[in-house]
Structure 1
Amino acid sequence: MVGIVGYGAYVPSYRIKVEEIAKVWGDDPVALSRGLIVNEKSVPSSDEDTATIAVTAARYALARAQIDPKNIGAVYVGSESHPYAVKPTASIVAEAVCATPKLTAADLEFACKAGTAGIQMSMGLVQSDMVDYALAIGADTSQGAPGDALEYTASAGGAAYIIGNDNTVADIEHTCSYTTDTPDFYRREGEPYPSHGGRFTGEPAYFKHVLSAAEMLFDETNTAAEDYDYACFHQPNGKFYLRAGKKLGFTSEQIERGLLTPNIGNTYSGAVPLALSNILDVAEPGDKIFVISYGSGAGSDGFAITVKDEIEERRELAPKTEDIISKKTYVDYAVYAKFKGKIKM
């Protein structure tokens, strides 16, 4: 069965607190923290972008996979903040991890679910015997206009997954998707910041797709919430995440491990891959994981995953997600604006 052979995560060490942003715009930080369930977010340094995040996460995934990178036959990087409009991030990653030139590589874009779309594509290539291993990454240095609600959550980070069918640490037993044309969030070519539909992004966008994909996954696997040890969903903020989990019948114990947004913000394409990596860092052999991503525009991918014995011997081969997140340095709004290029010369 096709599954995860190796995984790795990376989050920039810089942080900015919600109250620091609120101080600049005159907003109420307490109300924002309670409303969004976000306390602080990660900030990429001036020398960090989607490519550097993807490369670091990929190297950690390779360390856990214990495979020759030249056996990777496909590299996909999902993001809505690729450093180049015309120049693939995927080829940079492939070269940096010493993969063979005899591979297919592409950048993917589907708002916040491009990373999980890459996992599905990788599964297909492995299952059809076109490649031995494929590398799928979800990473972003997301944007939010100064003073916009997105500025309180849009952050940076990502995770990488090596997909194969030999010596897996977790098997992907089923996947499904739910997609419609729901334009809740978009950014025109050349525009520096995205636009969003305000409350429309919750209903009928996020919740319709997340809940529909989840119910589809339940039906197609003949399972229910109580059959899983862990569950994680896309997390534009903590409030949406917790509401989705409750609606689907999951307990706080099942979903709390995957909730990272309160401490790192919304990493967009990296959100679900990072949540899953944090779960894999502690999951026991035999544990079952329920995963639902979401990307504006709009769609959701679902995965039913079972952890294998191999996880215990390989998870210690690279830094754990919580350890990466715990290394942080706080910056003020001026430094944040400088790093994010909000100050125009």
Structure 2
Amino acid sequence: MKIGIDKIGFYTPHLYVDMNELAVARNVEPAKFTIGIGQEQMSVAPITQDAVTLAANAALEILDENDKEKIDLVIFGTESGIDHSKSAAVYVHHLLGINPQARSIELKQACYGATAAIQMAKGHIALNPESKVLVLGSDIARYGLNTSGESTQGAGAVAIVISAEPKIMALEDQSAFLTADIMDFWRPTYSDQAYVDGKFSNEQYIAFFSKVWEAYKEKTGHSIEDFEAICYHLPYTKMGLKALRTILDEGSEADKERLLANYEISKTYNKNVGNIYTGALYLSLLSLLEQKEDLKEGSRIGLFSYGSGAVGEFFTGILQPDFKAHLNVESHSNLFASRKEVSVGKYEEIFQESLPVDGSRIELDIDKDPATICLSGMADHMRLYVNKER
């Protein structure tokens, strides 16, 4: 029985800031952002969007009534959770009207959370082949204004339906994974902004990739020539390229050209959204699937997931017959085309907006937000969500 990705959707807020404009405002040479880290635009989340609404909007476009009935497990990977106790998955479950006879949980391990969710989903489907699992990776990356990490912020979510006999990608059984207790990136419970040791984190990302890549080859006997493409977790798009370059000498010139060309395609969405933590790897995969016109069924795609702190995993999938017919290329093209650029000043204003922390009531203007699902306010310490279609 094949198990894997049956559907995949994506959502990002309708606002963005141009990285050239941000660089000028920060007295930085624009090429440092556009070439040095490989980012062109950065999605900006208005106060009416949080990790819950982003995930719900991402799932909204891919779920039909049959999916909602078959889904009996919702797993939400995030490091932008909105409650220490209540799972973000429960909110999404309600907002989308999913089958009540379902488990709904939240997972956390930095940017690795959605990958952990997918691996759990595979086990669930193996035991329950008639069911489906909704996996969500949703985050808003925040480092603060005028900080070293500001240029690697972003906001968005990826939603994935895992099932038996998937229409898009069958996930192969063997993978390689690694855990080590390190402090390269973290966010204490008292802070709404992350802390990062940038140089150390970059080093650990490469080290983890090297270790799981070698372990994967030893487990499977596969080599670089067996891959049509390798997608990476992309906190910024230059990071994945650094990792890919460490293994290119293992293959032929044709292997090198193929993997580099496909990497360029796989970063298309990420360079215009920014870092979305748990969803970043899967946004890269989605970019490859939707933007590479001659990608063929039967191709093996490598996936490297990394979550600071740290957990890493290398796993693979095989593209299924007629997979292109089950993607939402036009919808995602329209999503990008409809976004609105904001000035750096406006971005700073949005960044500093916050919800009350004393339990007081607030009503938010959701008419300015074109998203179907929005955060409409707070009352009695509870967030209030609205699905405009219900």
What is the TM-score with the length of structure 2 in the denominator? 0.81
Q: Which residue of 2 aligns with 1:52?
A: 53
Helix, strand or coil: the match of 1:67?
helix
Structure 2 vs 1, CA of residues 328 and 214 (structure 1 numbering), >3 Å: closer, same or farther? farther
CA deviation profile, 1:201-237 (whole Å, cap 9, x unmatched): 111x111112222332333232122211121101122
1:336 aligns with 2:336: no
* Residue 327 of structure 1, CA deviation: 3.3
Q: Which residue of 2 aligns with 1:300?
A: 312
Q: Matched residues in 2 for 1:92 and 1:311: separation?
A: 30
Q: Matched residues in 2 for 1:344 and 1:72: separation?
A: 32
Does the aligned pair in 2 maintain the 1:137–1:158 contact within 8 Å? yes
1:284 aligns with 2:261: no
Helix, strand or coil: the match of 2:172?
strand
CA deviation profile, 1:284-305 (whole Å, cap 9, x unmatched): 3212211111111011122210
* Residue 131 of structure 1, CA deviation: 6.9
Q: How many pairs align?
A: 341
Structure 2 vs 1, CA of residues 108 and 309 (structure 1 numbering), >3 Å: closer, same or farther? same
Q: Which residue of 2 aligns with 1:242?
A: 241
CA deviation profile, 1:163-217 (whole Å, cap 9, x unmatched): 11134321001333222112100111111211111311111x1111122223323
Q: Which residue of 1 aligns with 2:19?
A: 18
Q: Which residue of 2 aligns with 1:257?
A: 265
Structure 2 vs 1, CA of residues 323 and 117 (structure 1 numbering), >3 Å: closer, same or farther? farther
* Residue 75 of structure 1, CA deviation: 0.5
Does the aligned pair in 2 maintain the 1:50–1:140 contact within 8 Å? yes
The answer to which of 320-329 and 27-36 deviates more is: 320-329
Q: Which residue of 2 aligns with 1:100?
A: 99
Does the aligned pair in 1 maintain the 2:111–2:308 contact within 8 Å? yes
- Give the residue type in structure 1 aligned to 2:350: F
Where does structure 2 lack aligned partners over 5 or more consecutive residues?
249-255, 357-390
1:215 aligns with 2:214: yes
Q: Matched residues in 2 for 1:43 and 1:98: separation?
A: 27
Q: Which residue of 1 aligns with 2:70?
A: 71
CA RMSD for the aligned pairs?
2.2
Q: Matched residues in 2 for 1:267 and 1:199: separation?
A: 20
- Give the residue type in structure 2 aligned to 1:335: K
* Residue 326 of structure 1, CA deviation: 3.9
Identity of aligned residues (%): 25
Larger C-alpha radius of gyration, 1 or 2?
2
Q: Which residue of 2 aligns with 1:309?
A: 321
The answer to which of 122-131 and 35-44 deviates more is: 122-131
Structure 2 vs 1, CA of residues 67 and 229 (structure 1 numbering), >3 Å: closer, same or farther? farther
Q: Matched residues in 1 for 2:40 and 2:168: separation?
A: 33
